[in-house]
Chain A
């Protein structure tokens, strides 16, 4: 079963400040944690993909023109509802939903300032698979 674990810029349970306000050593520890976690997931044969996204300042919001032939409406960032934006994701291929939740809990416990776990909310979503052969 394949799952996408999503993390947004929303407020975390530890109420930690945005990463831009962290001390360099805390950022380093956080990044090291992510790298080690990815290595562990690869070693377990579970990691499909892991990506962080460029900041909301670079985001563009695109809506098709109303009617044919017009140019699409493009809005540049930053965007007022930054908290709802996706910060990064992992895709894992695991044996069970329980295992995906377990990984999400690990992700959520990534260290923040002074090594205190960030406790971010991780959204766990199953990726659509192929249909039953019986259909």
Chain B
């Protein structure tokens, strides 16, 4: 136990371990999750008064097991309950290895039948050990609404009756992809809202990184797991420079790179190098590699754009995602001039239609090409189509700046 973590931190750490232990013994993940929640609430109430028990994990598992037993009142369940109660009172066994349990819990709470909107809060509670109140506050919804969202997610899982064990080798690829996707979205949710007036929100990016570290501890050989963790670390490293003192967005090109977190970058670079050595290229590794090139560049202009262009080309082949093509156009413009980028965009119109990102990339490229009127119109078009306030402010400002040369 780490000194000074406090009871809250301790509970957060123990929550997935307790849930893993209870699910292992009783099955029924959804009910076990309810029972462990109650045990955590009981602990949060009594430990500050009575002191932390000698074996805190055993305490939580015991209280949750009692609650589990109460849930099953049929004769058969009662017999089992009595057996279990006896076994607990005779030998309060220390629960099974926690790292294994965390990944099993992650596979359950990021089940492919759940939408990300349901999987994210469930994962935060079941695996990250956050309380419903903390999760509700992070997503700015009332606690009752969030509690219902989590129960509905669990009701869906109940219908699946998934056993508490590693998915079969045939299934594992798809299941892991689902876990990584949920963590990726969770990280983005936190990263996008970091800084400015939202600073008080729970650090969701930090939680995503913590969970990705758990997955990596359980699956150290998987290069895509390492790729995702690296992508998070290398992106998070730029966070201090991403907003200015007023909370406004600072684009990559204009960020003060001395404010980037060098320790995170070093850790990320070591990880990505190791992952790429495995020779099994994937989406997250490629994105991590791109982030690595940016993070090693002394300035925007001195970035190895040809390398970034090559990486985006591979990512485009792998995913066929038009948003990747959009990023490739930006890189192509840096290597071969704005004309090359604009040519790539022309082919995208049919696939992306009236997308705001298409407008904003075109605006930047037109500006580079010296077409200020065209750039202003495209910045304005992007601003009208964005669904977020800070980006809208940024784009509106750029539209104005494109036609008005900066003052003395």
Contact = CB atoms under 8 A, between A and B. Distances in A.
A127 to B, nearest CB: 8
B152 A44 contact: yes
Contacts of A49: 142
B145 A130 contact: no
Interface in B357-404: 357, 386-392, 394
For B139, B148, B187, B327, which residue has the most chain A Cβ atoms within 10 angstroms?
B148
A131 B249 contact: yes
A44 to B, nearest CB: 7
Contact of A93 (B115, B139, B327, B386): B139
Contacts of A135: 249, 251, 391, 394
Interface string A74-100: 000000000000000000010100000
B14 interface: no
Interface in A45-69: 45-49
Nearest to A127: B387
Interface residues of B, number: 34
Contact of A48 (B145, B148, B251, B357): B145
Contact of A132 (B144, B150, B192): B192
B145 A42 contact: yes
Contact of B387 (A42, A93, A126): A126
Contacts of A130: 189, 192-193, 198, 388, 390
Given A45-B145, A48-B142, A93-B141, A133 B188 contact: yes
Main secondary structure of the interface of A (DSSP, over half): loop
Contacts of A45: 118, 145-146, 148-150, 152
Contact of A131 (B139, B142, B149, B388): B388
Contacts of A126: 387
Contacts of A129: 192, 387-388
A48 B140 contact: yes
Chain A: interface size category: 10 to 19
Contacts of B139: 93
Nearest to B189: A130
Nearest to A41: B145
Interface string A91-128: 00101000000000000000000000000000000101
A49 B145 CA distance: 10
Contacts of A48: 140-142, 145
Contacts of A44: 148-149, 152
Contact of A46 (B145, B390, B394): B145
B102 interface: no
A45 B149 CA distance: 4
Given A48-B140, A131-B388, A135-B249, A42 B148 contact: yes
Contacts of A132: 188, 192, 357, 388, 391
Interface string B111-147: 0000101100000000000000000000111101110
A128 B140 CA distance: 13
B235 interface: yes
A128 B197 CA distance: 14
A128 B388 contact: yes
A93 B243 CA distance: 26
Given A131-B192, A132-B192, A42 B390 contact: no
A47 B191 contact: no
Contacts of B115: 95
A37 B17 CA distance: 39
A43 interface: yes
A45 to B, nearest CB: 3
B212 to A, nearest CB: 15
A93 B145 contact: yes
A47 B249 contact: no
B115 to A, nearest CB: 6
Contacts of B193: 130
A47 B188 CA distance: 23
Contacts of A42: 142, 144-145, 148
**5 tightest Cβ-Cβ pairs between the two chains A and B:** A45-B149, A130-B192, A131-B391, A128-B389, A130-B193
Given A95-B115, A130-B189, A131-B391, 9 more contacts: A46-B149, A48-B140, A48-B142, A130-B198, A131-B394, A132-B192, A133-B187, A133-B188, A135-B251
23 contacts: A42-B144, A42-B145, A44-B149, A45-B150, A46-B145, A47-B142, A48-B140, A49-B142, A93-B139, A93-B141, A128-B388, A128-B389, A128-B392, A129-B388, A130-B192, A130-B388, A131-B192, A131-B386, A132-B188, A132-B192, A132-B391, A133-B192, A134-B327
Interface of A: 42-49, 93, 95, 126, 128-135
